[in-house]
A and B are shown apart, each in its own frame.
Chain A
Amino acid sequence: MKFAVSPLVRRQFEERAQWYEHYRGKDFVKSFAQNIFSTYRAIAQMPTIGRIEQKGKRATYRSFLAHPGCRIYYVHDQTLIRIQRLHFSAMETPPSTLNRN
Protein backbone atom coordinates (compact mmCIF):
# COMPACT_ATOMS: atom_id res chain seq x y z
CA MET A 1 0.00 0.00 0.00
CA LYS A 2 1.31 3.47 -0.90
CA PHE A 3 1.86 6.05 1.82
CA ALA A 4 1.88 9.83 1.33
CA VAL A 5 2.44 12.77 3.67
CA SER A 6 0.80 16.08 2.74
CA PRO A 7 2.84 19.28 2.33
CA LEU A 8 0.76 20.87 5.09
CA VAL A 9 1.62 18.06 7.51
CA ARG A 10 5.30 18.51 6.68
CA ARG A 11 5.01 22.21 7.49
CA GLN A 12 3.13 21.51 10.72
CA PHE A 13 5.74 18.92 11.71
CA GLU A 14 8.65 21.24 10.99
CA GLU A 15 7.13 24.19 12.83
CA ARG A 16 6.30 22.10 15.88
CA ALA A 17 9.76 20.49 15.89
CA GLN A 18 11.29 23.97 15.72
CA TRP A 19 9.02 25.21 18.51
CA TYR A 20 9.87 22.21 20.70
CA GLU A 21 13.59 22.73 20.05
CA HIS A 22 13.34 26.36 21.10
CA TYR A 23 11.14 25.94 24.14
CA ARG A 24 11.63 22.32 25.26
CA GLY A 25 15.08 21.29 24.08
CA LYS A 26 16.70 18.87 21.66
CA ASP A 27 15.84 15.68 23.53
CA PHE A 28 12.16 16.57 23.43
CA VAL A 29 12.41 17.07 19.65
CA LYS A 30 14.05 13.66 19.32
CA SER A 31 11.28 11.97 21.29
CA PHE A 32 8.60 13.83 19.28
CA ALA A 33 10.19 12.82 15.95
CA GLN A 34 10.64 9.20 17.08
CA ASN A 35 6.95 9.00 18.03
CA ILE A 36 5.85 10.43 14.69
CA PHE A 37 8.19 8.11 12.73
CA SER A 38 7.04 4.99 14.59
CA THR A 39 3.36 5.94 14.25
CA TYR A 40 3.75 6.42 10.50
CA ARG A 41 5.34 2.98 10.23
CA ALA A 42 2.53 1.44 12.29
CA ILE A 43 -0.15 3.11 10.15
CA ALA A 44 1.66 2.03 6.97
CA GLN A 45 1.61 -1.59 8.15
CA MET A 46 -1.94 -1.55 9.51
CA PRO A 47 -4.09 1.43 8.42
CA THR A 48 -7.05 0.22 10.48
CA ILE A 49 -5.10 0.87 13.70
CA GLY A 50 -6.58 4.36 14.05
CA ARG A 51 -9.87 5.48 15.53
CA ILE A 52 -12.58 5.93 12.89
CA GLU A 53 -13.50 9.60 12.58
CA GLN A 54 -15.70 9.44 9.47
CA LYS A 55 -16.53 6.94 6.77
CA GLY A 56 -16.51 8.63 3.38
CA LYS A 57 -17.84 7.33 0.07
CA ARG A 58 -14.40 6.35 -1.20
CA ALA A 59 -12.31 6.10 1.95
CA THR A 60 -12.20 5.98 5.73
CA TYR A 61 -10.94 8.89 7.82
CA ARG A 62 -9.10 7.93 10.98
CA SER A 63 -6.91 9.42 13.69
CA PHE A 64 -4.18 8.07 15.93
CA LEU A 65 -2.50 9.61 18.99
CA ALA A 66 1.19 9.70 18.07
CA HIS A 67 2.55 11.80 20.91
CA PRO A 68 0.98 13.12 24.14
CA GLY A 69 0.29 16.41 22.38
CA CYS A 70 -0.19 15.27 18.79
CA ARG A 71 -2.95 13.34 17.01
CA ILE A 72 -2.46 12.30 13.38
CA TYR A 73 -5.47 12.47 11.03
CA TYR A 74 -5.28 10.31 7.92
CA VAL A 75 -7.41 8.83 5.18
CA HIS A 76 -7.05 5.42 3.60
CA ASP A 77 -8.66 3.27 0.95
CA GLN A 78 -7.59 -0.06 -0.55
CA THR A 79 -4.45 1.32 -2.21
CA LEU A 80 -3.32 4.55 -0.52
CA ILE A 81 -2.80 6.10 2.92
CA ARG A 82 -2.65 9.89 3.08
CA ILE A 83 -1.53 11.75 6.20
CA GLN A 84 -3.76 14.82 6.03
CA ARG A 85 -3.36 16.81 9.22
CA LEU A 86 -1.71 16.91 12.62
CA HIS A 87 -3.71 18.17 15.58
CA PHE A 88 -1.72 19.52 18.51
CA SER A 89 -3.16 20.14 21.95
CA ALA A 90 -3.07 23.79 22.95
CA MET A 91 0.07 24.81 24.81
CA GLU A 92 1.30 28.01 26.37
CA THR A 93 4.64 29.39 25.25
CA PRO A 94 6.95 28.86 28.24
CA PRO A 95 9.84 31.18 29.13
CA SER A 96 12.59 29.80 26.91
CA THR A 97 15.38 30.16 29.47
CA LEU A 98 13.60 27.89 31.97
CA ASN A 99 12.99 24.97 29.65
CA ARG A 100 15.96 24.63 27.34
CA ASN A 101 18.43 21.81 27.74
Chain B
Amino acid sequence: METKEPAAPYYTRPKMQFMRQAIIRGIEQENDVQQLEQLYARYNPLGKTFEEEVAEARAWAEAHFEPEDVEELAKVDFTVGHDPEEWNWNPPTTDEEWERQIAEWEEEEKMDGWITLEEFERRYAKLLDP
Protein backbone atom coordinates (compact mmCIF):
# COMPACT_ATOMS: atom_id res chain seq x y z
CA MET B 1 0.00 0.00 0.00
CA GLU B 2 1.42 3.32 -1.04
CA THR B 3 1.65 5.94 1.70
CA LYS B 4 1.53 9.61 0.92
CA GLU B 5 4.39 11.74 2.25
CA PRO B 6 3.22 14.67 4.32
CA ALA B 7 3.72 17.95 2.51
CA ALA B 8 6.55 20.02 4.02
CA PRO B 9 5.26 23.30 5.35
CA TYR B 10 6.35 26.21 3.21
CA TYR B 11 7.64 29.24 5.02
CA THR B 12 7.96 32.48 3.11
CA ARG B 13 10.47 35.13 4.17
CA PRO B 14 7.71 37.51 5.36
CA LYS B 15 6.19 34.75 7.48
CA MET B 16 9.56 34.00 9.10
CA GLN B 17 10.15 37.70 9.68
CA PHE B 18 6.67 38.04 11.20
CA MET B 19 7.45 35.21 13.63
CA ARG B 20 10.83 36.73 14.57
CA GLN B 21 9.21 40.09 15.30
CA ALA B 22 6.49 38.44 17.39
CA ILE B 23 9.14 36.60 19.44
CA ILE B 24 11.16 39.83 19.93
CA ARG B 25 8.02 41.65 21.12
CA GLY B 26 7.24 38.80 23.49
CA ILE B 27 10.76 38.83 24.96
CA GLU B 28 10.69 42.62 25.33
CA GLN B 29 7.58 42.30 27.49
CA GLU B 30 8.98 39.45 29.58
CA ASN B 31 9.61 40.48 33.18
CA ASP B 32 10.08 37.05 34.75
CA VAL B 33 13.78 36.81 35.60
CA GLN B 34 13.86 33.02 35.40
CA GLN B 35 12.20 33.04 32.00
CA LEU B 36 14.73 35.65 30.81
CA GLU B 37 17.61 33.53 32.12
CA GLN B 38 16.32 30.52 30.17
CA LEU B 39 15.77 32.55 27.00
CA TYR B 40 19.26 34.07 27.34
CA ALA B 41 20.83 30.62 27.71
CA ARG B 42 18.89 29.37 24.68
CA TYR B 43 19.53 32.24 22.30
CA ASN B 44 23.00 33.32 23.45
CA PRO B 45 24.68 30.06 24.55
CA LEU B 46 28.23 31.20 23.76
CA GLY B 47 27.75 34.84 24.76
CA LYS B 48 29.28 36.45 27.81
CA THR B 49 27.40 36.90 31.04
CA PHE B 50 26.45 40.37 32.23
CA GLU B 51 29.17 40.16 34.89
CA GLU B 52 31.81 39.27 32.29
CA GLU B 53 30.75 42.17 30.06
CA VAL B 54 30.90 44.58 33.02
CA ALA B 55 34.36 43.29 34.02
CA GLU B 56 35.60 43.84 30.46
CA ALA B 57 34.12 47.33 30.38
CA ARG B 58 35.70 48.13 33.77
CA ALA B 59 39.12 47.09 32.46
CA TRP B 60 38.71 49.47 29.51
CA ALA B 61 37.57 52.30 31.79
CA GLU B 62 40.53 51.76 34.12
CA ALA B 63 42.87 51.96 31.12
CA HIS B 64 41.35 55.22 29.84
CA PHE B 65 39.94 57.23 32.78
CA GLU B 66 41.04 58.55 36.14
CA PRO B 67 40.29 56.29 39.16
CA GLU B 68 37.61 58.62 40.59
CA ASP B 69 35.85 58.67 37.22
CA VAL B 70 35.96 54.87 37.04
CA GLU B 71 34.07 54.73 40.34
CA GLU B 72 31.40 57.06 38.91
CA LEU B 73 31.06 54.82 35.85
CA ALA B 74 30.72 51.78 38.13
CA LYS B 75 27.44 53.29 39.39
CA VAL B 76 25.96 52.78 35.90
CA ASP B 77 27.56 49.33 35.38
CA PHE B 78 29.98 50.93 32.90
CA THR B 79 26.90 51.49 30.67
CA VAL B 80 26.52 47.74 29.96
CA GLY B 81 22.82 47.08 29.44
CA HIS B 82 21.95 50.75 30.00
CA ASP B 83 19.81 52.58 27.53
CA PRO B 84 21.67 55.79 26.61
CA GLU B 85 18.42 57.76 26.75
CA GLU B 86 18.54 57.40 30.52
CA TRP B 87 21.03 60.26 30.70
CA ASN B 88 19.79 62.17 27.70
CA TRP B 89 19.07 65.84 28.25
CA ASN B 90 16.32 67.63 26.37
CA PRO B 91 17.33 71.19 25.45
CA PRO B 92 14.88 73.95 26.40
CA THR B 93 12.55 75.14 23.67
CA THR B 94 10.62 78.07 25.15
CA ASP B 95 11.91 81.30 26.75
CA GLU B 96 10.52 80.21 30.14
CA GLU B 97 12.32 76.87 29.94
CA TRP B 98 15.52 78.67 28.98
CA GLU B 99 15.25 80.99 31.99
CA ARG B 100 14.89 77.98 34.30
CA GLN B 101 17.82 76.24 32.58
CA ILE B 102 20.05 79.31 32.84
CA ALA B 103 19.25 79.61 36.56
CA GLU B 104 20.20 75.93 36.98
CA TRP B 105 23.44 76.42 35.06
CA GLU B 106 24.34 79.44 37.18
CA GLU B 107 24.02 77.19 40.23
CA GLU B 108 26.17 74.52 38.54
CA GLU B 109 28.87 77.11 37.90
CA LYS B 110 29.51 77.08 41.67
CA MET B 111 30.25 73.33 41.63
CA ASP B 112 33.74 71.89 42.01
CA GLY B 113 35.25 69.83 39.22
CA TRP B 114 35.37 72.34 36.35
CA ILE B 115 38.47 71.76 34.21
CA THR B 116 40.30 73.73 31.54
CA LEU B 117 40.62 72.73 27.89
CA GLU B 118 44.24 71.66 28.44
CA GLU B 119 43.21 69.49 31.41
CA PHE B 120 40.38 67.95 29.39
CA GLU B 121 42.74 67.05 26.56
CA ARG B 122 45.29 65.60 28.99
CA ARG B 123 42.71 63.49 30.84
CA TYR B 124 41.19 61.95 27.73
CA ALA B 125 44.22 61.71 25.41
CA LYS B 126 44.20 57.91 25.74
CA LEU B 127 40.88 57.77 23.88
CA LEU B 128 42.71 58.87 20.74
CA ASP B 129 45.01 55.85 20.97
CA PRO B 130 42.67 52.81 20.96
Contacts and interface: CB of A to CB of B under 8 A. Distances in A.
Given A19-B79, A87-B88, A30 B114 contact: no
Interface residues of B, number: 46
B78 A18 contact: yes
Contact of A82 (B84, B109, B130): B109
Contact of B88 (A11, A61, A90, A92): A90
A90 B84 CA distance: 7
Contacts of A88: 84, 88
A63 B117 contact: no
Contacts of A75: 105
A3 B117 contact: yes
Given A2-B116, A96-B53, A73 B111 contact: no
B18 interface: no
A37 B73 contact: no
Given A18-B57, A22-B79, A96-B53, A10 B69 contact: yes
A12 B121 CA distance: 15
B91 interface: yes
Interface of A: 2-8, 10-19, 21-22, 26-27, 29-30, 32-34, 37, 40-41, 44, 53-54, 56, 61, 63, 71, 73, 75, 82, 84-88, 90-93, 96-97
28 contacts: A2-B116, A6-B111, A7-B111, A7-B113, A12-B87, A14-B72, A17-B124, A18-B60, A18-B61, A18-B79, A19-B84, A21-B60, A26-B130, A29-B130, A30-B127, A30-B129, A40-B120, A41-B117, A61-B98, A73-B91, A75-B105, A82-B105, A82-B114, A85-B89, A90-B84, A92-B83, A93-B84, A97-B47
Q: Across the A-B interface, give the 8 residue pairs with the lowest CB-CB distance, nearest first.
A: A7-B113, A26-B130, A33-B127, A19-B79, A3-B117, A54-B98, A4-B114, A18-B79
